[in-house]
Amino acid sequence: MIHGAPTAQKLLATETEISSRYSPSELKKLKQYGFTGMNIEQRAIRSGLSEEYNIVYRNFSRNVHSTDFMEFFVQEAPNLIRSADPDVYVEYRDAVCCDVAFISVAGIAIKVNQLASLGLDRRIQGLLRAQQRLQHGSGAGEPD
């Protein structure tokens, strides 16, 4: 437990209190789509992150849907890809996946830092700057 953080019982009580404000169908929709009322794909489109969504979605769901032909051809028959270089695709796909992982982890770190008043603002900002330097090809060096 983090000193000053809410206990599990307090979090459950807060959830119960918030849940009581909504009908069962509204609550189900909130749990599924959040306060935006949109699914993840719709939010990605609205925020201009369609390419990132498509790459990440395809990678995490290809075992279920088996509909990502680019992934299939890269693995099974790269000679059939005429319009794109498979190596460029793989590099771009992997870079986007790393960016999405970083964005996700950074978002969690920022929120935990704020909620728990950890005082890690300067260190987190250093990591964000290092990630930007990596994206721009100037090398990250050590985080500030």
Q: Would you list the domain boundaries of the chain?
A: 1-37, 48-135
CB 74 within 8 A of CB 86: yes
List pLDDT tens digits, range 3-33. Answer: 888 888 999 999 999 999 999 999 999 988 8
Ramachandran area for residue 119 (φ above 0: left; ψ -120 to 50: alpha; else beta)? left
Alpha helices in the chain (DSSP H): 8-19, 24-33, 40-46, 50-65, 69-76, 86-116, 121-135
pTM: 0.48
Compute CA distances 110 → 96, 119, 130, whole Å: 21, 10, 16
One DSSP character per residue, 3-39 reads: TTPPPHHHHHHHHHHHHTTS-HHHHHHHHHHGGGT--
CB 89 within 8 A of CB 71: no
Q: Three-state DSSP class for 62?
A: helix
Per-residue pLDDT of the chain (144 residues; tens, 9 = 90+): 678 888 889 999 999 999 999 999 999 999 888 888 998 889 889 988 888 787 777 777 766 665 565 666 666 666 666 666 767 777 777 777 788 888 888 888 999 999 888 999 999 999 999 988 887 775 544 444
Q: Which residue has the tokens 């059939």?
A: 80
